[in-house]
Amino acid sequence: MRDSYHEQLDGIGDGLVEMSRLAGSAVSRATTALLDADLALAEQVIAGDEVVNELYRTIEAQAFDLLARQQPVAGDLRVLVTSLRMVVDLERTGDYAVHLAKIARRRHPASAVPPELRSTVLEMGQTAQRIAVKAGSVIASRDLALAAELVRDDDVMDDLHRKLFTTMLSPSWSHGAEAAIDITLAGRYYERLADHAVAVARRVAYLVTGEHLDEDDLEA
């Protein structure tokens, strides 16, 4: 019975790692759809979110089932409660990839990204993918040094987010309000995705230490 219990606990962790992998893949494909005005790829991202949502429902049900049947204490209780919080963060990362894909779909057949912002958006997409996948590695390894890397990656994303606004607020901006709205939304989605990954890092730190650490503590 206890072997089955711990297998189920491990299965919840595996599911969280898989969610992070799926989210990383989704944001990478959504970025390509944005840059290349690839409607088919955007539709793939939107449709594929159901897999992430199904994992979310499965992990949540498993965690509640173990809480009800096994009445865990100490470390196991912390794992389950923290998993219920992390699964929400990871589900939201998938949602932000969908939001990006919907921008691409809305502007098709044109690209939603003006030429002077293509390199910045590409870098934001690459950073977001790295962050999402790294969140899974942090969950699997419970490595606090790796968790601290996520905080630094989030700083990179924040810098890129500011760079978007600097370009849009420049007197040379000539793409109008519609393009500015698209880019503002896209930048916000990338930035929020990174924030959720940092929340995962903080939750893993709580699993390891039993303390609620802020971002400065993780980097210390």
pLDDT at 220 over 60: no
Residue 140 is predicted with a pLDDT of 93
Q: Residue 2 — very low, low, confident or very high, per pLDDT cuts 50/70/90?
A: low
Q: Give the model's pLDDT for residue 208.
A: 83
Query: What is the spatial distance between Cα 86 and Cα 13, in angstroms, rounded to a whole number?
Result: 10
| Mean pLDDT across 18-43 | 96
CA distance 202 to 191: 17
Sequence ranges of the domains in the chain: 2-219
With residue 1 as reference, give the H or E element that holds it.
none
> How far apart (Å, rounded) are the C-alpha atoms in residues 110 and 134?
32
Query: Distance between CA 80 and CA 89 in Å, rounded?
Result: 15
The identity of residue 69, as a single letter, is: R
For the chain, the farthest-separated pair of C-alpha atoms sits apart, in whole angstroms, at 68
Identify the band that residue 216 occupies on the pLDDT scale cut at 50, 70 and 90.
low
pTM of the complete model: 0.91
Q: What is the helix (H) or strand (E) element at residue 208, kind and residue range?
A: helix 176-209
Cα–Cα–Cα angle for 177, 181, 187, nearest 5°? 140
Contacts of 89 (CB under 8 A, 6+ apart): 196, 197, 199, 200, 203
What does the pLDDT look like over 120-159, one tens digit per residue? 999 999 999 999 999 999 999 999 999 889 889 999 999 9
Instruction: Give the CATH fold of the 2-219 domain.
Output: Methane Monooxygenase Hydroxylase; Chain G, domain 1 (1.20.58)
* 33-78: pLDDT as tens digits: 999 999 999 999 999 999 999 999 999 999 998 888 877 777 788 8
CA 168, CA 118: separation in Å to the nearest integer? 13
Cβ pair 63, 84 in contact under 8 A: yes
Q: Is the pLDDT of residue 191 over 60?
A: yes
CA distances from 52 to 7, 59, 61, 86, 193 (A): 21, 11, 14, 13, 15
Task: Calculate the alpha carbon distances from 154 to 3, 127, 149, 158, 164 in Å.
Answer: 38, 8, 9, 6, 15
pLDDT at position 4 is 82
pLDDT of the residue at 215? 60
Digit-coded pLDDT (tens) for 67-125: 888 777 777 888 898 999 999 999 999 999 999 999 999 999 999 999 999 999 999 99
Residue pair 147/138 in contact by the 8 Å Cβ criterion: yes
